[in-house]
Chains A and B, each alone.
Chain A
Amino acid sequence: MRALLLLIASLAWLGSARAESLVISLSNQHVDINSTYTGAQLALFGVVVRDGRSATRADAYDILISIKGPSGLVTVRRKERFGPIWINREQRKFADVPATLALIGTRPFTDIVDRDFIDRFGMRIESHVLPKGAALADDFGAALIRLKKEDDLFTIRDRDVAFLTPDVFRATLDVPATGPLGIYNVEVSLFAGGVRLAQAETFFTVGKVGFEQLIAREARDHGVLYGMATAAMALCFGWLASVIFRRD
């Protein structure tokens, strides 16, 4: 069944092959974390390049974008009553969940592509969190998604890609301040009439630079020295204060 679907999809893609292609560019390939970092915004520009011979389409173009942050294991815990107190008892681990996820489109996603194909294009948060084939009514998974949405780590913006001309579009990508360091993958798909016409991928990295990088590296590689430096700083400040305030 899945193979058949894939076949149909790829035939559909081949049918319109090379009629359109996507060229995308990010305003920045590196997000630098310095001492004033509070998250970042990147601009994504894209151009739909059309084969000169193909006729104009009846349907307008639509764009779907997914920005997926670094993935890793996350543990979700549930508080339960234990005697008189509430403590974390049951827990569930989710392997390979993106730390951040932003899904952006020109219109509500189900208007752009058929509901059944949404998962295939990665445009539903659940498909990134729950293991493949897991029950949809999973309390822990739903809670994780809800909590991540509350922290703005998972976002859905379904009217946030603007076509500047019929062929040129622009979108703003937000990097949350508490998003992890690492590689963020950006995937852009072009749709018309419910069919994916073209797809393009790019990425950007979030990393510490300068002083922040130095500190983090020292803390990791020379823990004892770093701890001694912190302790020395504490002594210094404490002594300074007693000198400044010495009156009696």
Chain B
Amino acid sequence: MELYLPIAEMPINVLTVLAVSAAVGFISGMFGIGGGFMMTPLLIFMGVPPAIAVATGSAQIAASSTTGTLAYWRRQALDVRLGLLLLCGGMIGTVLGVWAFGALRRIGQLDLVIVLSYVTLLFSVGGLMLIESVKTLIAKRRGQSAPGAQRVHKPWYFKLPFSMQFSQSNLEASIIPLLVLALLIGFVGAILGIGGGFLMVPALIYFFRVPTAVVVGTSLFQILFTMLAATILHAATNQAVDIMLAMVLILGGVFGAQFGARAARNVRGDWFRLMLAVLILTIGARFSLDILVPPQEPYSFGTQETRR
């Protein structure tokens, strides 16, 4: 079943896209991440122009994080105060990111920046998580408590000015590092068409010791509003949001996410983190193949602007 995309100006197979977005939705629901870092590359692989894949992906992430946020809200596993603070930083980052996106597209290096950032991010985050979760698992097997729990020292960046209390997250820290973190993730997210959940979740766990139970809901809450803003900004400045593609992605994604969230309840925390780390590393490896293996076809041509 083919559907013509009015903005991407190409037909796509609806069933294929539905299947792919449902699969990504399943994984995103399971790990509480938007899944954009899988969806965007897959769309590009299907022939959707990168700019449109990135911009449209933000609409899909908005939809799936709506569902997720509502679910965590009902379970009270959401720190609204922390979420709102992260949102402030995220918004500024998103505005800057959408602007940089347009600038890079004009220079013609957008694709390279996208691939390189993906590889760097996925490997560093995935690697850190893998080491951490394996350490925890080994420690547990030996009957010790997790090494993270022994550290009671507050890191230096907690003690910066403008301290704030986040009771639900059991956190009292300066808002400066939190804002900077959210700004960076918002910036990267707007360029890469990702919500940044896979960055935010580990960052909050490892750098700010926010309890895992609250982290996912809070991150989704922040992502929801950042991605709504990104959708509107991308539509307004880059005219790259395809509403038909967004609809197909959303349909597949929200249903997949429901089943993913259910599957996640049967997985233990440590294994959960190990699985997420492996997943992130796998995608990083797939990306690095693109730039490490000598290409069979070294030539490519860009989107052609024709006179109407």
Contact = CB atoms under 8 A, between A and B. Distances in A.
Interface of A: 33-39, 69-81, 84-88, 91, 97, 99, 139-140, 143-144, 146-148, 177-178, 180-182, 208, 211-213, 215-216, 219-220, 223-224, 226-231, 233-235, 237-242, 245
Contacts of A140: 299
B246 A147 contact: no
16 contacts: A70-B306, A70-B307, A71-B307, A72-B304, A75-B302, A178-B47, A182-B306, A215-B6, A223-B235, A226-B241, A228-B232, A230-B241, A233-B243, A234-B60, A237-B254, A238-B63
B299 A235 contact: no
Interface string B253-266: 01101100000000
A231 B233 CA distance: 11
Contacts of B254: 237-238, 240-241
Interface in B79-136: 108-109, 111-112
Contacts of A216: 6-7
A224 B235 contact: yes
A224 B299 CA distance: 36
B64 to A, nearest CB: 7
B258 A245 contact: yes
Contact of B255 (A85, A88, A144, A241): A241
Nearest to B251: A237
B110 to A, nearest CB: 11
Contact of A181 (B112, B243, B298, B308): B308
A181 B112 CA distance: 28
B304 A180 contact: yes
B301 A227 contact: no
A88 B300 contact: yes
Nearest to A140: B299
Contact of B298 (A78, A177, A242): A78
Task: Using C-beta atoms within 8 Å of the partner chain, give the interface range for chain B.
Answer: 35 or more
Nearest to B257: A241
A208 B65 contact: no
A84 B3 CA distance: 40
Given A147-B301, A235-B62, 19 more contacts: A33-B4, A38-B11, A70-B308, A72-B306, A79-B298, A85-B292, A86-B294, A86-B295, A97-B304, A147-B297, A177-B4, A178-B47, A219-B7, A223-B236, A224-B236, A227-B231, A230-B246, A233-B63, A239-B70
Nearest to B300: A77
A238 B67 CA distance: 5
B67 A233 contact: no
B81 to A, nearest CB: 22
Interface of B: 2-4, 6-7, 9-11, 47, 59-60, 62-67, 70-71, 108-109, 111-112, 227-228, 231-237, 239, 241, 243-244, 246-247, 250-251, 254-255, 257-258, 291-295, 297-302, 304-308
Contact of B66 (A215, A230, A242): A242
Contacts of A91: 108
A219 B299 contact: no
Contacts of B65: 238
Q: Report whether over half of chain B's contact residues are helix, strand or loop; otherwise say mixed.
A: helix
Contact of B299 (A143, A220, A241): A143
Most buried by B among A37, A148, A177, A228: A37
Contact of B235 (A71, A219, A238): A219
List of 8 A-B pairs having minimum Cβ-Cβ separation, nearest first: A238-B66, A227-B235, A143-B299, A227-B232, A72-B306, A241-B254, A70-B306, A234-B63
A216 B250 CA distance: 20
Contacts of A211: 6
A45 to B, nearest CB: 28
B230 to A, nearest CB: 9
Contact of A38 (B2, B64, B295): B2
Nearest to A79: B298
A227 B234 contact: yes
Contact of A215 (B243, B301, B304): B243
A223 B298 contact: no
A231 B108 contact: no
Contacts of A81: 294
Contacts of A143: 299, 301
Contacts of A97: 304
Contacts of A238: 62-67, 70, 250, 254
A235 B4 contact: no
A230 to B, nearest CB: 5
Nearest to A218: B243
A146 B62 CA distance: 40
Contacts of A69: 306
A230 B242 CA distance: 9
B157 to A, nearest CB: 33
Contacts of A239: 66-67, 70
B117 to A, nearest CB: 13
A88 B251 contact: no
Contacts of A215: 6-7, 243-244
Given A36-B2, A74-B304, A238-B254, A219 B63 contact: no
